[in-house]
Amino acid sequence: MKKKIAISIGDLNGIGIQLALENHDTVSQIVTPLYCIDKEMLKQAANKLKLTIPNNFQTIENIAPCFEIDAGKISKESGAYAYASFVKAVELAKTKEVDAVCTLPIHKKAWERAGVHYKGHTDALRDFFDAEAIMMLGCSKMYVALFTEHLPLKEVAKSINEKDLTRFLVDFYHTAKPTSTVAVLGLNPHAGDDGVLGDEEKIIQKAIDNATTILKKETPSLFTIHYSLFTAPMVPDVAFTPHIRKNYTHYVAMYHDQGLAPLKALYFDEGINVSLNLPILRTSVDHGTAFDIAYQGAKLNHLSYINAIQYIEDTL
């Protein structure tokens, strides 16, 4: 039996609803989608897009107050609706009415204008479940987990501490379930050059050692594998070169752009966002609302959306 998936509709002033409508037939062959959008808003969006609503496009009423879609604009109304759609999808997963959640893109500024104090889906999920959710992005060729996420660069170094990074590595290994060594990036150029360019790598190495000890104690079978669970802190500027990359499928980056710049350069069209270490499974497209092309008849790349759906089917 196909899994039932709640799809939060994202910011309706963006491209999410076009992705949902245009790819419904494909998605429905993989899972049974339930879209968190009112029929009135769906009809309005479909009319603006000049798209036909599929007969089996299942929706939910009373998501949030309806509003006039304003293509490509940041508004508190669209932000409030996007947040309410997300909350409804999570509630359905909590109560086991659906098997997982897939989220379409939001606009953080629209959330802010709507009075939502979370910076994004992952921040909200941490609060909803009182859990240390892990943000992992990528595709089957390469996944990157972020130790720090939407954090100013000047705050990254002081955020790297042995206790939190140890916990992160243990939780990541348990939930991502890598089948080969995880590549852990250093923070500084040349991974610190033995302290010449910074000494955060000493903290990172201690956390790696701690996590390895904990994981092997918790899962004795890990003693029998023929490879290390984690690398030593890797030099960041060579970690994604072809001859290195071929050896790893999972990376841990110390900060947002360290991991996502190379990932998006290599696999932008097909990458997804996965929230790990939660009681529910949530995936998302790894792109934004694309306000510049919303409702303009643009041909959208659907790979990220389809891959986010397929990950759920492959994982559950």
Domains and CATH numbers, the chain: 1-131+278-316 (3.40.718.10), 134-277 (3.40.718.10)
Q: Can you tell me the mean pLDDT for 39-46? A: 98
pLDDT reported for residue 150: 86
Which of the four pLDDT bands, split at 50, 70 and 90, describes residue 39? very high
Q: With pLDDT > 90 as the criterion, what percentage of the chain qualifies? A: 98
Over 90: is that where the pLDDT of 230 sits?
yes
Q: 94 by DSSP, 3-state: which?
A: helix
Q: Can you tell me the mean pLDDT for 154-167? A: 97
Over 90: is that where the pLDDT of 146 sits?
yes
pLDDT digits 0-9 by tens, 98-132: 999 999 999 999 999 999 999 899 999 999 999 99
CB 2 within 8 A of CB 32: yes
CA dist list (Å): 203 to 25, 162, 196, 211, 233:
49, 6, 15, 12, 10
pLDDT reported for residue 197: 93
Count the Cβ atoms, other than its own, within 10 Å of residue 262.
Answer: 20
Q: 91 by DSSP, 3-state: which?
A: helix
Which of 79, 27, 81 has the alpha carbon at shortest distance from 58?
A: 27
Over 90: is that where the pLDDT of 14 sits?
yes
Count the Cβ atoms, other than its own, within 10 Å of residue 225.
Answer: 12
Amino acid 76 reads K
Question: pTM (2 decimals)?
Answer: 0.93
Q: Can you tell me the mean pLDDT for 282-307? A: 97
Tell me what the pLDDT averaged over the chain comes to. 97
What is the token pair recorded at 217?
């104690």
Q: Can you tell me the mean pLDDT for 262-291? A: 96
